Amino acid sequence: MNYLKITASLFFLSSIAGCVILNGPKNEAAFSEQTDLKELEGCYENRGDGGKANSYRYLASYIFNPIKPDVRQAHYIRVTSMGERSIKVSAESQGKVLQEQVFVEGRDFNFESGKIRIRSDGGATAPTQSGSVFLGVAQGSTYLGIDKNGDGKLQDSGTMLGTVFLVVPIAGHVNESFRFKKTPELCKTALSP
């Protein structure tokens, strides 16, 4: 009888278990709610701080698609306003432009409440012959903008709900944020012809 109570208790606890993972830089600031693309103008470090050791992302990887092989290693990203609805973004290192592109609001991105949605996807998944044992739904999104301190901010989040092996319920949410320091001195770097 005790075995049955222990088994039932373990099943109950596992059925309400979930996981929430929140990672971000120290003293993380919320997104700014600016509505003017001109506020994005400036130079940002390409390598973003995620708060943990070895937790970083490269801003260029989220901006350029397709990305040239050496662009991930760019030292900084320069954003220049090209009018009310467009910006020019260049990945630069040691005074050289490694990759550059003009983005137009409404065509290449949507700018709402100070954020640009880079990715938003979701759907259902089922066990497959390839080895997946998860049955459920998942949703993820990635936003890019500037925080209330004026630094660049990337927020990557995802949520899932379902079962493993069709028996064990599972739920989880991950929210990771990265800060890309806005450094005006980088904009003073002269570009090579």
Question: Residue 192 domain-assigned?
Answer: no
How many domains in the chain? 1
* 5 pLDDT higher than 90: no
Which residues lie below 8 Å from residue 185, measured CB to CB, with a gap of 6+? 43
Predicted pLDDT of residue 8? 47
**What SS3 class is residue 110?**
coil
Please check whether residue 1 lies inside any domain of the structure.
Answer: no
Task: Say how far apart CA 79 and CA 147 lie, in whole Å.
Answer: 15
pLDDT higher than 80, residue 3: no
For residue 21, what are the domain limits? Answer: 17-187
φ and ψ at residue 52, rounded to 5 degrees: -105, 160
Does 57 reside within a domain? yes
Tens-digit pLDDT profile for residues 113-171: 889 988 888 888 887 766 778 889 999 999 999 999 999 999 999 999 988 888 888 89
- Identify the DSSP state of 30: P
Distances (CA, A) of 31 to 154, 174, 185, 186: 9, 18, 23, 23
Determine, yes or no, domain membership for 8.
no
Q: Is the confidence at residue 192, as pLDDT, over 80?
A: no
| Residues 62-95 pLDDT 10s | 999 888 888 878 999 999 999 999 999 999 998 8
39 found inside a domain: yes
pTM of the model: 0.80
Residue 12 lies in a domain: no
Q: What is the pLDDT of residues 6-25, one digit of tens each?
A: 544 445 545 555 788 888 99
Residue 11 is assigned to a structural domain of this protein:
no
Query: Is residue 4, in this structure, part of any structural domain at all?
Result: no
For residue 186, the model assigns a pLDDT of: 86
